[in-house]
A and B are shown apart, each in its own frame.
Chain A
Amino acid sequence: MDALNQLPLSIAAAIRSLFGDSHSIWADLTMDVINIILVIVLIVLAALILILLERKIAGWTSQRPGPNRLGPHGWFQTIADALKLLGKEDVTPAGADKFIFKIAPMILFALPMMTLAVIPYGKGMSPIDLDLGIVYFLAVSAVSTLSLLMAGWSSNNKYSMLGGMRAVAQMISYEIPLIFSLLGVVMITQTFSLSKIVEAQSTVPFVVLQPLAFVIYLIAGIAEVNRAPFDLVEADQEVVAGPFTEYTGLRWGLFFLGEYGNMTAVAALTATVFLGGWQGPAILPGYAWFFLKVGIIIFFQMWVRWTFPRIRIDHLMGLAWKVLLPLSILNILLTGLGIYIYDLVLRIGG
């Protein structure tokens, strides 16, 4: 079990030992390139699996079979869809702002690459172990709104524009509770580093100590990845497909990859901060626990998506500003009081 647990680290050490000096700049560079490739593979794999899973869960919740034609139980459906996307014509609308139109999907795809690179997938298995993990994650994922707005604005289409505007309006409302809900954990652990936060959860995961923050983060996280019931940005009955309306072929595919990558990233952060990351009983290796927890969060997001109707945009703003924000501030206050009382008890007891 221990060998299996350490397998990725042993592989990394083996690759490093191919170089004369295992900590030379070339060894570091090689490892960085391998890490980047692994993160990209993770996003693509996640998108392939999650799109199928989403359609299966959609079928399950609405009591229909879902995709079931291609391959056993329809498992190859996404691969066929991806191949179909590859063959589509790349259309740029005549009135589009061409350069912005073309780089917007690339930016949205680059963001989950940057955020997933700081997640600890196992003990000592963060591709990049940043001291400021949480702040970096939040900062980078805040840029996704900009890319949606760029796509919406540059498409020269009123539905796209409306979708982009909605992305901004939505971002203003959910972002503050999203950030504040993570502060409680930072206050307890006294660090922004994701790997240290996971290590602090060896006895009890923070979902037990911070249940309120966990619920706030889950709700705000769904708003961040623009999924139902907060999918106002791409609400197909109202604004066709929002910022993605004019996109075709691979550029649209990049948006899709970016969206599912973002969803994976938010689920990974939830698992890391609240569910104990790779910590778990030794019956499974750490990274298996991690992906299991991420899978549970993603399943929850999909379940919510196919259960609740879309809420109106003013209701979303009301929810975020009048309910989630006061609750997250209350959570910070309670956490501070809790830490103070805990210290007091320790001082009296010790």
Chain B
Amino acid sequence: MSTIVFFIFAILAVAAAWGVVTSQNIVHSALFLALTFVGVAALYVMLNAEFIAAVQILVYTGAVSIMVVFAVMLTLRGDVGESSPENKKWGWGLFVAGLVFVMITAVILTNADWRILPGPWTIQNSTAALSNLLLTNYMIPFEAAAILLTVALVGAVILAKGVRENK
């Protein structure tokens, strides 16, 4: 049963991702991306990571609308229907994507201890376990990420607004 559900959502995610890269219309690409995120969120639910799934929908699927706005605003072509034409650089794209895939596979295959938990997941409330881990074992990376994001946010505001120089 869960295998069938997995394949439904996995195929949905992959097919939508295919739509993202092949669609000629950049807005369609962004909407396909939202569909991909939904498919991936469903896979997270099947992995008992409900919190990640909800955050995936909240942060990524919800934010795709912002991306669509940028896509429309920054599109220079008059006709949005041909805003994302194919180009000749797919060979390079294939090379980089393949490299990333090989890297991730290598890390997973060579590093036996990439999972945090030794055995299969048995805790019922995965969110509580996750927050405990984040605020105990992984406290410093968590806070560092928070500071990094804040710095990026402040930097973006300064870039957009400019700084008044004091003479």
Question: Would you call B62 and A145 a contact (CB within 8 A)?
Answer: yes
Residues of A within 8 A of B55 (CB): 135, 139
- B74 in contact (CB, < 8 A): no
- When chains A and B are docked, how far (Å) is the Cα of A9 from the Cα of B48? 29
Bound-complex Cα distance A155 to B122 (A): 49
Contact of A131 among B57, B65, B127 (CB under 8 A): B127
Checking A146, A150, A168, A171 against B61 with a beta-carbon cut-off of 8 angstroms, the contacting residue is A146
Tell whether B109 is near chain A: CB-to-CB under 8 Å: no
CB distance from B16 to the nearest CB of A (A): 14
Q: In the complex the two chains form, is B65's CB within 8 Å of A139's CB?
A: no
Q: Which residues of B12-43 are within 8 A (CB) of A?
A: 25, 27-28, 31, 34
A131 to B68, CA, bound (A): 32
B51 to A146, Cβ gap below 8 A?
Answer: no
Contact (Cβ within 8 A) B58 A139: yes
Is B125 in the interface zone, CB < 8 Å from A?
A: yes
B69 sits at the interface (CB 8 A): yes
Given contacts A168-B66, A171-B65, 10 further A-B contacts (CB under 8 A): A97-B25, A131-B127, A132-B51, A136-B50, A140-B57, A142-B62, A143-B61, A165-B69, A168-B65, A168-B68
A139 touches B69 (CB 8 A): no
A149 B57 Cβ-Cβ under 8 A: no
Contact A142 B72, CB 8 Å, known A153-B27, A171-B65:
no
A139 pairs with B62, CB closer than 8 A: yes
Q: How far is the CB of A156 from chain B (nearest CB, A)?
A: 10
Q: Per-residue 0/1 for B117-141: is the Cβ within 8 Å of any A Cβ (1 yes, 0 no)?
A: 0000000110100000000000000
Residue of B nearest to A130 (CB): B50
Bound CA–CA A140/B41 (angstroms): 12
Q: In chain A, residues 115-169, which have Cβ atoms closer than 8 Å to a Cβ of chain B?
A: 130-132, 135-136, 138-140, 142-143, 145-146, 149-150, 153, 161, 165, 167-168
